[in-house]
Structure 1
Amino acid sequence: MHWGRFAVGVAVLALATGSIPREDELIKVVAYAYASQGIPYSWGGGHGKSPGPSRGTCRGYHGSVRPCPAERTRGLDCSGFTRWMYRLAFGDDVLGRGNTDDHIRRMRRVRVPRPGDLVFYGNRKRTHHVGVYVGDGKMINAFATGTTTRMDDVAAVKDILGFYHYPA
Structure 2
Amino acid sequence: MGVNRRHMGLVALLLVLAAGSAPLNDELVRAVDIAYASRGSLPYSWGGGHGRLPGPSKGTCQGYHGAIKPCPAARTRGFDCSGFARWVYERAFGSDVLGPGNTDDHIRRMRRVDSPLPGDLVFFGTPRRTHHVGVYIGGGKMINALATGTRIRLDDVSRVRDLLGFYHYPG
Match of 2:62 in 1: 59
| CA distance in structure 2 between the aligned counterparts of 1:100 and 1:77, rounded to whole angstroms | 10
Match of 2:49 among 39, 46, 50: 46
| CA distance in structure 2 between the aligned counterparts of 1:140 and 1:167, rounded to whole angstroms | 21
Match of 1:136 in 2: 139
SS in 2 for 1:35: coil
List per-residue Cα deviations over 1:126-167 (Å, max 9, x = no partner). Answer: 000000000000000000000000000000011000000002
1:146 aligns with 2:149: yes
- Residue 35 of structure 1: how far off its partner (Å): 1.4
Structure 1 stretches of 4+ with a deviation exceeding 6 A read: none
Q: Which amino acid aligns with 1:34?
A: S
Where in structure 2 are there 5+ consecutive unaligned residues? Answer: 9-24
Q: Which amino acid aligns with 1:150?
A: R
TM-score (norm 2): 0.85
1:109 aligns with 2:112: yes
Q: Which amino acid aligns with 2:36?
A: Y
SS in 1 for 2:38: helix
- Residue 74 of structure 1: how far off its partner (Å): 0.2
| CA distance in structure 2 between the aligned counterparts of 1:110 and 1:64, rounded to whole angstroms | 34
Query: Identity of counterpart residues, as a percentage?
Result: 68
Match of 1:26 among 22, 26, 30: 30
Match of 1:3 in 2: none
| CA distance in structure 1 between the aligned counterparts of 2:44 and 2:147, rounded to whole angstroms | 6
Match of 2:19 in 1: none
CA RMSD of aligned residues (A): 1.4
TM-score (norm 1): 0.87
List per-residue Cα deviations over 1:16-40 (Å, max 9, x = no partner). Answer: xxxxx71011100010011142x10
